[in-house]
Amino acid sequence: MGKLYIVGIGPGSKEQRTIKAQEVLEKANVIIGYNTYLRLISDVLNGKKEVIGARMKEEIFRANTAIEKALEDNNNVALVSSGDPQIYGMAGLVFDIIAKKKIDLEVEVIPGVTAALAAAAKLGSPLSLDFVVISLSDLLIPADEILKKVTKASEGDFTIVFYNLINKKLLLQSMEIVSKHRKPDTPVGIVKSAYRDEEKVIITTLSSWKEHLEEIGMTTTMIIGNSLTYRYKNYMITPRGYERKYNL
């Protein structure tokens, strides 16, 4: 029996991949992933490997194919996710399938730099206190459940990271909820394609983020500050709390 690795490749550029991810990708004889991600790892897709691409909506196909390939003799299969495989990636689906079907297979998750952390790094230090990550995709989770989570995160004064900004209506509704709980000048970071060629980094506010609506899409992550977050030059900063105890 082979082994299935679910590999997080980080946000984009090779430098953001972990050494372990690189090793696993080089060693794998089967690599499976969404076509865009395969393009990001073209450096490891040399001739010796079987490379299976798939389009966005074919997640279940990718997961099943990876499992089947790994069950074949001695295959080292790498199923690729962008960022980290747990965070709205392929890991949950693969484990779910093997658990439901009671499949005996060795699976190892290789963690990666998730979009929240990549975007945060581009903005400065917006995640230095407690934060919440919410996917605004209602393809699998109903919109009312998502909005309930947005409400609770806003009430709790967590810094909020939004992934999967594919539904503009849901984004507008979510930002309206956040605006009820935070000051209009609360910093909002918009990071598009972090660590990729088309990268764009914007720092705006809760009252004027809509001016950048056309920048927001499939590869954008948004970070909304908590009540303490402030902007200094081109940095978005959430204080860790030292100033409550020490004189900085």
- Angstrom distance (rounded) from CA 10 to CA 104: 28
Q: Is 163 in the site for ligand SAH (CB under 6 A)?
A: yes
Angle in degrees, CA 6, 160, 137, rounded to 5:
55
Candidates 109, 119, 123, 146; binder of ligand SAH (CB under 6 A) is: 119
Q: Which of 80, 81, 84, 159 is nearest to 114 (CA)?
A: 84
Q: Is 33 in the site for ligand SAH (CB under 6 A)?
A: no
Contact status, residue 13 vs residue 196, Cβ threshold 8 Å: yes
Site for ligand SAH in 50-109 (CB under 6 A): 81-84, 87-89
The smaller minimum CB distance to ligand SAH, of residues 73 and 198, is found at 198
The smaller minimum CB distance to ligand SAH, of residues 75 and 79, is found at 79
CB of 223 to ligand SAH, least distance (A): 10
Q: Is 134 in the site for ligand SAH (CB under 6 A)?
A: no
Q: Is 213 in the site for ligand SAH (CB under 6 A)?
A: no
Q: Number of residues in contact with ligand SAH, rule: CB under 6 A?
A: 25
The smaller minimum CB distance to ligand SAH, of residues 31 and 75, is found at 31
Site for ligand SAH in 8-27 (CB under 6 A): 11-12
CB of 73 to ligand SAH, least distance (A): 30
With CB under 6 A as the contact rule, which of the stretches 19-27, 101-109, 158-166, 203-211 interacts with ligand SAH?
158-166
Q: Is 194 in the site for ligand SAH (CB under 6 A)?
A: yes
With CB under 6 A as the contact rule, which of the stretches 28-36, 60-68, 144-152, 188-196 interacts with ligand SAH?
188-196
The smaller minimum CB distance to ligand SAH, of residues 133 and 206, is found at 133
Residue ranges that bind ligand SAH, judged by CB under 6 A = 11-12, 81-84, 87-89, 114-115, 118-119, 163-165, 191, 193-196, 218-221
